């Protein structure tokens, strides 16, 4: 919900290949959730390739079948600022959007990493 609001207010589209899960605090921290395995499997079935998840849930990735983990990229985060940096494209797209996609390499876990 927070990402959708920031997207609408900043005119920055949300990437279509990203799913995200987590609870947020009033101070912008991303808090752990339950059911990560089921959420990731659902995202995989829908063709999603990147998942943003709470850093505190990173150990739960072991519960996801290896064949699914191998074709998805996971982005463990602790703050909403990190979520926005991963999930939102620059306003206007174009070359800036391509550059932003390259910057994702720094936050990736899985998919050949």
Q: Could you read off the pLDDT of 78-113 as tens digits, one per residue?
A: 999 999 999 999 988 655 555 555 555 555 566 544
97 to 51, 102, 107: CA distances (angstroms): 18, 9, 16
Whole-number pLDDT of residue 15? 97
Domains of the chain and CATH, by start: 2-110 (3.30.230.10)
Whole-number pLDDT of residue 113? 47
Q: In whole angstroms, what is the distance from residue 113 CA to residue 82 CA?
A: 19
The string of pLDDT tens digits covering residues 30-63 is: 999 999 999 999 999 999 999 999 999 999 999 9
φ, ψ for residue 61 (rounded to 5)?
Answer: -60, -25
């Amino acid at each position: 919900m927070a990402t959708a609001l920031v997207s609408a207010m900043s005119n920055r589209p949300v990437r279509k290949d990203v799913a995200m899960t987590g609870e947020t605090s009033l101070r912008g921290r991303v808090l752990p959730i339950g059911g990560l395995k089921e959420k990731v499997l659902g995202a995989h079935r829908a063709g999603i390739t990147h998942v943003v998840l709470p850093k505190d849930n990173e150990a739960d990735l072991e519960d996801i079948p290896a064949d699914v983990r191998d074709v998805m990229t996971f982005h463990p985060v602790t703050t909403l600022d990190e979520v926005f940096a991963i999930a939102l494209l620059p306003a206007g797209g174009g070359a800036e959007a391509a550059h932003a996609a390259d910057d994702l390499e720094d936050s990736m876990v899985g998919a050949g990493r």
